[in-house]
Amino acid sequence: MSPSALAALLLYCRAGFEKECAQDITQAAEHLGVAGWCKAVPDTGWVLFQPAEAEGITTLRKRLAFADLCFARQMVFVTPALKLAPENRLPPLLQAAQALGGPFSGLWLETADTNAAKELSGFCRKFEPHLKKALSQAGLLSPEQAGLPRLHAFFIDSATAYAGLSRPGNSSSWPMGIPRLKMPREAPSRSTLKLAEALLEILDEQARAQLRPGRRAVDLGASPGGWTWQLAHRGMKVAAVDNGPMDKTLMESGLVEHLRADGFTFRPRHPVDWLVCDMVDKPARVVDLIARWFERGDCRAAIFNLKLPMKRRFEEVQLARAVLQERLSRLEGSWRIVCRQLYHDREEVTLAILPRA
């Protein structure tokens, strides 16, 4: 692949969070010694980071970890924007793919996750077979070879697109960065999808292995049981803490104990393996609550949401991470903090505190 073919870093995000996504990548790049600027138009669902120096792209490709970005759903290293002639859109995309070198493990045609971009989805479905055929004929697709980069074509409109690469293992494994999760029929609320996505997208295999039968968990603010269901479904024993009612079918599993108590004052009789929390309150209050559980040794790992204010959302996330890192640093042991705005999050982010091996 010719490094000169790549010009910028394209990030997908939730519409309305372009500013926070831009702040996120700018800070992450600065930590790697890469200066640059962002194109971030409100409510478009994407951000373009342009390094000030050409070498910046190489540094980001080698050292930037997708897992360290909070507000990005996907990151793709892209060529300059391509102008596509309506009568024949294939040549510019094929030329860009050839400049990127190949072969590629797959082709994803994508748009932003906005209402304005939805009409492009139909166009992408119709256009994809033609582009895939042209790439295959050029020997640029090799889906049987694991580990190869993916080729993306991100359409701004039917006449403008970015071509680029993502690397499996350092990017989202879902087209458009959106996990397509099916709502479990037995789950009592749609909030169950938030925890399901967190377990899939935030936890590594080692952490997921700790979500197994016999492990104990506490769910603060559990009613009616969307998050509790995810844990009990895995055979875990769950203390569901909430003054509100719990789903009757969920309670019949025999794995859930409903404790009518205030989540901010509750303390378990014995330490538990997992703490989960989806309570609606100020981020600072939730952060203090979670930190106290670790300081008292009441849990070994935690997953929780922070509801963000309309203003200073990025700053609120940075403050939360700093407070948690400072308080955890006083304790024996070592933890890592992961923070992501997941697809099923809205005006919130999901954090996990996980013990280091």
Residue 171 exposure: Cα atoms within 13 Å on the Cβ side = 27
Residue at token pair 């935030």? 202
Domain that holds residue 94: 3-177
On whether both 126 and 208 belong to a single domain, the answer is: no
Strand partners, 157: 160
State the pLDDT at residue 119.
86
Is the pLDDT score of 198 beyond 90? Answer: yes
- pLDDT tens, residue by residue, 279-302: 999 999 999 999 999 999 999 999
Domain boundary pick from 126, 146, 177: 177
Given 3-state DSSP classes, what are the helix, strand and coil percentages for the chain, each rounded to the nearest 5? 35, 25, 45
Identified catalytic residue from 19, 39, 132, 307: 307
- Confidence at residue 3, expressed as pLDDT on a 0 to 100 scale: 47
Cα 288 to chain center, whole Å? Answer: 24
Distances (CA, A) of 47 to 23, 166, 202, 248: 10, 16, 22, 45
- 301 and 155: one domain? no
Q: What is the CATH number of the domain that holds 255?
A: 3.40.50.150
What digits encode the pLDDT tens for the residues 105-149?
Answer: 999 999 999 998 988 999 999 999 999 999 999 999 998 888 899
Output the CA angle 12-13-15, nearest 5 degrees: 125
**235: pLDDT strictly greater than 60:** yes
For residue 307, indicate whether it is catalytic: yes
For residues 213 and 169, membership in a common domain is answered with no
Residue 264, classified by CB atoms within 10 Å of its CB into exposed (0-12), middle (13-18) or buried (19+), is: middle
Task: Give yes or no for a contact between 328 and 356, defined as CB atoms under 8 angstroms apart.
Answer: no
> How many residues appear in the chain?
357
What is the reported pTM? Answer: 0.94
Residue labelled with tokens 């952490």: 207
What pLDDT, on the 0 to 100 scale, is given for residue 188? 94
Whether 185 is in a domain gets the answer: no
Q: Are residues 203 and 135 in the same domain?
A: no
pLDDT reading at 12 higher than 60: yes
